[in-house]
Amino acid sequence: MTFERGFAQSEYEDRVARAQAMMRDAQMDAMLFMTEREFTYFAGFQSNFWQSPTRPWFLILPADGDLIAVVPSIGENALSLSWVKTLHIWASPNPQDEGISLLAHTLQSLPRRFGQIGVPMGPETHVRMPANDFVQLQTALAPLTLCDATDIVRSLRMVKSEAEIAKHKYVAGLVCDAYDNMDQIARAGLSERQILKAYQLDVLARGADTVPYIVSTAGQDGSDDAIRFPNDRPLVAGDVLFIDTGAEVDGYYCDFDRNFAIERASDATRRAYDLVYRANDAGIAAVRPGVRACDVWQAMADVLAEGGAEAGGVGRMGHGIGLHNTEWPSLMATDETVLQEGMILAIEPGFDFAPGKMMLHEENVVVRSDGAELTTRRAARDIPIL
């Protein structure tokens, strides 16, 4: 499987055009972005420099016309390589005025129709600038006011183009290969930490750009936790090893897990694996356009309930995937988001089958007109023994 880096410029033009149509409906003169994913999504700009918390970056999408970047001096050259042609630069660091007056001036200079600037301020977003500066910005912008742009960004980013799906599929495929190689990596006597290190190197060597989300936890009959850091206890026969992977290529993620038994699996482990596998089947079968996120959740919850289980402490049984390992929507009882063609979802039923023993099983799918297209190779029907 091959994949091409970047996107045709038409992809960005399309994103911008659809955003601008929604902005006019929502009565915004512009949207203001400041996080890595929005720079990636709209500007096609990528840099590891987001790791440094020192300097904010600002991207403006006016209701009409082209993107405008307001960025620190260190970013001038790198951003000029993107399709964004209007750059305003300030000499940074400057904690006394870290781009605020330049940003306010730029926003105030835009054509004014509604007097509102959209900023993502809702679920799964955050403002990437100091809170004091955000207050100062709002003061400097008056009489312009800020309003919430989460719905626009969410509805755009939830539905992926074929070019976006291709990147997701590529990274999902190479992680499938890495999981298939687990018998070369994990065995009794090695610790969670040793296994995680070898697996991290394997995923990156296979072509993932980064693997920011990676978990390796094990416990007798079942792992005890889906998110904790690995420890140094050597694995022993009967342990279940849980590996979860949010790997990324060219900005796009996969996010799915696998379970492995070390040397042998108990009946309780096998039963839990079977039940969660069937719940996953039911979730995958329930996916189609027009169905709600909560309906997919219900299909999985029903299978678990028939098996005498209820959903565990993870709080949901799946979620969107894209520029983050987890994105909107959530597959849970209260999320009524209607599925659309082109959404990428993690189908992730799980439950605690005994105190401190969880079983969580995840696949990735794309919503297609006729149902779910698996983008991961379905896990083994019985828990693999290493």
Q: Under rule CB under 8 A, which residues in 125-144 are in contact with a copy of itself? A: 125-132, 134
- Strand 145-148 relative to strand 116-119, pairing: parallel
Residue type, 292: R
Residues from 240 through 299 that contact a copy of itself (CB under 8 A): 246
SS3 345: strand
> Is the four-CA dihedral 122, 347, 180, 214 of positive or negative sign?
positive
Least spacing, CB of residue 200 vs a copy of itself, in Å: 6
- Burial track 301-325 (b if 16+ CB lie within 10 A, e otherwise): bebbeebebebbebebbbbbbbbbb
The distance of Cα 184 from the centroid of its chain, to the nearest Å, equals 28
78 in contact with a copy of itself (CB under 8 A)? yes
Are the C-beta atoms of 337 and 289 separated by less than 8 Å?
no
Q: Choose, by CB under 8 A, the member of 1, 25, 142, 334 that binds a copy of itself.
A: 334
Least Å from the CB of residue 252 to a copy of itself: 14
Neighbouring C-beta atoms of residue 48, cutoff 10 Å: 8
Quote the least distance from Cβ 369 to a copy of itself, whole Å: 28
Choosing from 15, 169, 324, 361, the residue that interacts with a copy of itself (CB under 8 A) is 324
Rg (CA), the chain: 23
Residue 314 makes contact with a copy of itself by CB under 8 A: yes
- Candidates 141, 175, 218, 226: give the one binding a copy of itself (CB under 8 A): 226
Identified binder of a copy of itself from the candidate list 14, 124, 281, 373, rule CB under 8 A: 124
- Residue 76 found at the interface with a copy of itself (CB under 8 A): yes
According to DSSP, residue 339 is labeled P
**Which spans in 181-258 are helix H?**
192-205
User: Which residue lies nearer to a copy of itself by CB, 1 or 267?
Assistant: 1
86 lines the binding site for a copy of itself (CB under 8 A): no
**373 counts as binding a copy of itself under rule CB under 8 A:** no
Residue of 176, 279, 165, 266 lying closest to 220 (CA atoms):
266
Chain residues 176-195 in contact with a copy of itself, contact rule CB under 8 A: none
Contacting residues for 240 by C-beta, under 8 A, at least 6 apart: 218, 219, 220, 221, 222, 223, 259, 260, 261, 262, 265, 269, 357, 359, 383
Q: Which amino acid is at 127?
A: V
Size of the site for a copy of itself (CB under 8 A): 71
- Looking at the Cβ atoms of 279 and 321, the one nearer to a copy of itself is 321
The edge-to-edge listing of strands for the beta sheet with 68-72 is 86-90, 68-72, 58-62, 30-33, 116-119, 145-148
Q: CB 71 → a copy of itself: shortest distance, Å?
A: 11
Interactions with a copy of itself, residue window 5-64 (CB under 8 A): 46-49, 51-55
Residue 17: CB minimum distance to a copy of itself, A? 26
Residues 12 and 15: their CA atoms lie apart, in Å, by 5
Please identify which residue in 115, 189, 212, 308 interacts with a copy of itself, judged by CB under 8 A. 212
Q: Which is nearer to a copy of itself, 2 or 48 (CB)?
A: 48
Based on the shown chain and the rule CB under 8 A, indicate whether residue 355 belongs to the binding site for a copy of itself.
no
The reply to whether 229 sits near a copy of itself by the rule CB under 8 A is yes
Residue number with CB closer to a copy of itself (47 or 266)? 47
Candidates 25-33, 118-126, 168-176, 269-277: pick the segment binding a copy of itself (CB under 8 A). 118-126
- The CA distance from 35 to 386, in Å, is 41
In this structure, the strands spanning 86-90 and 68-72 are parallel
Minimum distance from CB of 381 to a copy of itself (Å)? 27
Q: How far is the CB of 220 from a copy of itself (least distance, A)?
A: 15
Residues 296 and 331: beta-carbon distance below 8 Å = yes
- For residue 220, the SS3 value is strand
Binding to a copy of itself in span 141-160, by CB under 8 A: 148, 150
Taking the least distance from each CB to a copy of itself, the nearer of 197 and 271 is 197
338 contributes a contact to a copy of itself by CB under 8 A: no
Single out the residue of 115, 123, 234, 308 in contact with a copy of itself (rule: CB under 8 A). 123
